[in-house]
Amino acid sequence: MPKEKAKFERIAFVASEMPEAIDAQKALVKRYGKIEPAKADAIVALGGDGLMLQTLHRFINDKIPTYGMNRGSVGFLMNDYSEDDLLERLAAAEISRIHPLSMIATDSAGKAHKSLAINEISLFRQRYQAAKLQIAIDGKVRLEELICDGILVATPAGSTAYNLSAHGPILPIKAPLLAVTPISPFRPRRWRGALVPNKVHITISVLEAEKRPVSAVADHFETRDVVKVEIEQARAIELFMMFDRNHGLEERVLAEQFRF
């Protein structure tokens, strides 16, 4: 487990396919050297939020702190880009520890597909007809039937992403909660979602699955024609995200709630 005051001297650089990110990687490698991620004290991800999520997924079991620098279009999870004083910025960085969500999606053939999500797990209708879903928490049915375009379960880290666009609540990064947010709900029309403890086991069952097919997505991993999706926090897995001092994930989530 990384320490708050640890020195980060062996740095691995990964970049998106954007020209700005590739150029930045070349400049940083020339200045700070090149090392394989498995041997690094820290990984510096160059790109946008998508690249940051891909990097966290790629090294999800390695417990290597990851520091993002924005060379993409969206940079909520990224720090400002600069080639200067990188070692000092890493040494002074705040570290946010987060747990991903685990998803077991069972398809119409009975096959179980396992995936992890750092931001959210989403279910979407696959065709023109709305999805019909049933929601159970720890084995107890809480919503018999939800007719909608879909539903998502978001972590605090992901609550400012798709969850916010779907009018879900922003969660403080240390809140022991998950956001369950419907996407374009039709019935019950007034249901706007729920906040649930992050220790619960969520089961979403697809009703009329053949007539109203549904897909499930954990971040960017998709499973088609699902009949049941089970979601819970993967408490055994810790991810370490690094942010410049006074610009940590907790501060960013708080500040986002006062933006218009």
The closest of 100, 121, 118 to 237, measured between CA atoms, is 100
* Residue of 23, 49, 80, 219 marked active site: 49
Interacting residues of 108 by C-beta distance below 8 A, sequence separation 6+: 209, 210, 225, 226, 227
Interacting residues of 128 by C-beta distance below 8 A, sequence separation 6+: none
Predicted TM-score of the model (pTM): 0.86
Q: Is the pLDDT of residue 174 over 90?
A: no
pLDDT tier for residue 4 given thresholds of 50, 70 and 90: very low
- In order, the DSSP letters of 139-175 are TEEEEEEEEEEEEEEE-TTTTTTHHHHTTPPP--TT-
The count of other CB atoms within 10 Å of the CB of residue 35 is: 16
The DSSP output letter for 254 is H
- What gap in Å lies between CA 104 and CA 2, rounded to an integer? 30
Query: What is the per-residue pLDDT across 106-149, written as a single tens digit (0 to 9) for each?
Result: 999 999 999 999 999 999 999 999 999 999 999 999 999 999 99
Q: What confidence score (pLDDT) does residue 260 get?
A: 66
For the chain, the first-to-last Cα distance in angstroms comes to 38
pLDDT tier for residue 6 given thresholds of 50, 70 and 90: low
Question: Is 41 marked active-site?
Answer: no
Helix, strand or coil, per DSSP, at residue 116: strand
Interacting residues of 241 by C-beta distance below 8 A, sequence separation 6+: 52, 56, 65, 66, 67, 68, 77, 95, 96, 98, 157, 249
Domains and CATH numbers, the chain: 11-99+238-256 (3.40.50.10330), 101-233 (2.60.200.30)
Identify any residues that bridge with 196 across adjacent strands, giving them in sequence order.
178
- What gap in Å lies between CA 187 and CA 39, rounded to an integer? 52
**Degrees to nearest 5, angle at CA 238 with 137 and 179:** 35
Helix, strand or coil, per DSSP, at residue 196: strand
Q: Is the pLDDT of residue 5 over 70?
A: no
The DSSP output letter for 248 is -
Counting residues of the chain whose pLDDT is more than 70, the rounded percentage is: 97
Query: What is the per-residue pLDDT across 199-233, written as a single tens digit (0 to 9) for each?
Result: 999 999 999 999 999 999 999 899 999 999 999 99
Q: For residues 48-70, give the mean pLDDT.
A: 92
